[in-house]
Structure 1
């Protein structure tokens, strides 16, 4: 942040005196060359400036941090209605400290683009774009709205931050990106209170990548067989009866379930 005199801060977008409307707004209005870090924004629904971490470098920059989800942790999985459905704030989204967190941007920031990235390495990311602007991530989740029209901008599931054999992180060739994805034929499982799920194991993700339409045990002509067909943050395995099945960051590897794709490091979700 700028250690500038008070009279110069008045002209500098992204300070408490002159907050931007989002991290992307700050990046554009300050010429497109900024370091990542905390900046001040004022969301449309908030009457006061809000301090938030901005990724100004990954995949074009301008990303506002919405939530942080710890890897190999159960707190932010699909049964946590307090956060995913209600948008109850927790932790801090002003930094990339390894913790579970949910910030005001989750309920208040409009967006088209979404990015999931490692908390420690911005090169490990997956970013996509939707053709329309959404009011907020919470508005999608709260209404149980399945969104499957996102297309990839940068990165891949293979590049995300995980431990284990890379062979189990191949992307299926027909993945789409969005929200509440999964196989609705298994409607007995829920994601944050919504009836969604994958009948082979991985529940529909709150935020992530999946096949659409979900093909279940049918194989579409251009689809790989041994690949990740569902990946998500805010999900969980179908039965949730064992520890790895309850992890909030989860993936379904076609023909191998969750057994080889459950060891993810912590990631943040960003929008712009």
Structure 2
């Protein structure tokens, strides 16, 4: 049977953009794992800030053998469904390399042999039970002990923090000395359609005063307003509220919280010619052009280990 590999790749690419998909979960895990390893950290105790629509990426970290995996989420998170766990388990068996896996073993009908270390023998529900998720909890109030995690990450979460200073300070507290934290931050106007495309120019909300923006047709994530029910169109035409901090603001916040080696990579940027500072309100009008063109960034920072 001839397989259309391009069709498989196209389907995977589409699924990677769906936060409730097991395939999205795996790719978040794989990306964050590589970020951690590039910075010299093998994740052992992992914290995800704002898992959102699923706990899938944390399940992947649990499956790889992390001693502790935890998440903190402002809104309510449903436990992974049996169907989600089954799909994720099958996908990990095929692509992850966590345990020995070969198709001839998985499809074997031989009665005289068995495969004791095959992934299919993993009881994935036991792995799922390792995930410690604290929902209904603001990030700046997360109830974890100091120095609890050696790796923490978030995907498109920090831009929604209503109290970023306290949140980043709390993150510093729960990270172990020497630990790494990685955050993808979406700095675009979140007046989005159902598939995540901005209905406005990505910098349009920088033209609006704070009072007008806060009172506008946007809603903050809360215990009752979650990513899941937004994906189900329960928000209607409301956009999602953002704190509107820019790249330089985030770098300064992590610096002031005590982190070292703070760096940012630009994941997405707008054309310089499309940045109209004259139309912007302060403090954005005074920002450097390169600060404004960065609309999705990946920020990495370290909590310094004590010197001997």
TM tier relative to shorter chain: under 0.3
Bigger share in helix: 2
**TM value normalised by structure 2:** 0.23
Bigger share in strand: 1
